[in-house]
Structure 1
């Protein structure tokens, strides 16, 4: 993924905005659909957390910092990895629809290029990962909660 590249994933969710907000900001909820090994999380500007994800022989120590919060509307992470160059901003934006449904828009903006040598950092992998998390995991979590 190269600097200035942007990936956008949108999904309509059959849940009110308050429930979706809880799913993307409450640690116990996040562990059920996002990463089950997040050690701590607060939807507060300046909050930082880190956790490792292993893929084949590679470790990806995730480094997150919350840089913007608009309750029930938007949360923005600075997202990078300890072992690799590259940096991104990840936006979760919520839009209330009629009938107590919510549109989520996930935007991943690359602010510093990631290495092309690592399969997980290819654009297709990133897009596939976000589709998996938002269109499958989050949607299934909300429908079955």
Structure 2
């Protein structure tokens, strides 16, 4: 059963360029997101990172699918030991002189259903709301 995509929307008191740099510059990403060894906002670029909680860590394998600076970044989101396949899309829109709306869409989450509560939609919802509602917000608004 395919579920609807998870969509999280936030507006930040920061320029679109500042937010774009935060989501595409690996040195900035490690300050609020994950510590990526390498990242390039280039179609076809493959990257990996490890994330999880205090009990278990998961290797995430991703590939950039679409780049339209400073408005859109889309990449796959898969796991090393899980057969699921999903896509994360970041859409940025300038909504004022120093305001940016970010709409994050995570599509394909039902492909991860394997009985592990970390792969339930509720877990992704909590994670993305924390990342966009706290981590990214605090980072870009403090710059």
TM-score, structure 1 length as denominator? 0.92
Tell me the SS of whatever aligns to 2:118.
helix
Q: What pairs up with 1:39-50 in 2 under 5 angstroms?
A: 39-50=37-48
- CA–CA distance in structure 1, aligned partners of residues 113 and 122 of structure 2: 14
Q: Deviations over 1:120-144 (max 9, x none)?
A: 1111111110001111100001122
* 1:91 aligned onto 2:94: no
- CA–CA distance in structure 2, aligned partners of residues 56 and 84 of structure 1: 19
CA contact (8 A) 1:91 1:106 kept: yes
Match of 1:19 in 2: 18
- Unpaired runs of 5+ residues, structure 1, are none
Give, in angstroms, the shift of residue 55 of structure 1.
3.3
- CA–CA distance in structure 2, aligned partners of residues 40 and 30 of structure 1: 11
Q: Deviations over 1:9-55 (max 9, x none)?
A: 000100110101000000111111111x2111000000001122253
CA contact (8 A) 2:66 2:75 kept: yes
- Following TM superposition, where does structure 1 have runs of at least 4 consecutive aligned residues deviating by more than 4 angstroms? none
Match of 1:123 in 2: 121
Q: What pairs up with 1:6-85 in 2 under 5 angstroms?
A: 6-35=5-34, 37-85=35-83
- CA–CA distance in structure 1, aligned partners of residues 136 and 52 of structure 2: 21
CA contact (8 A) 1:85 1:115 kept: no
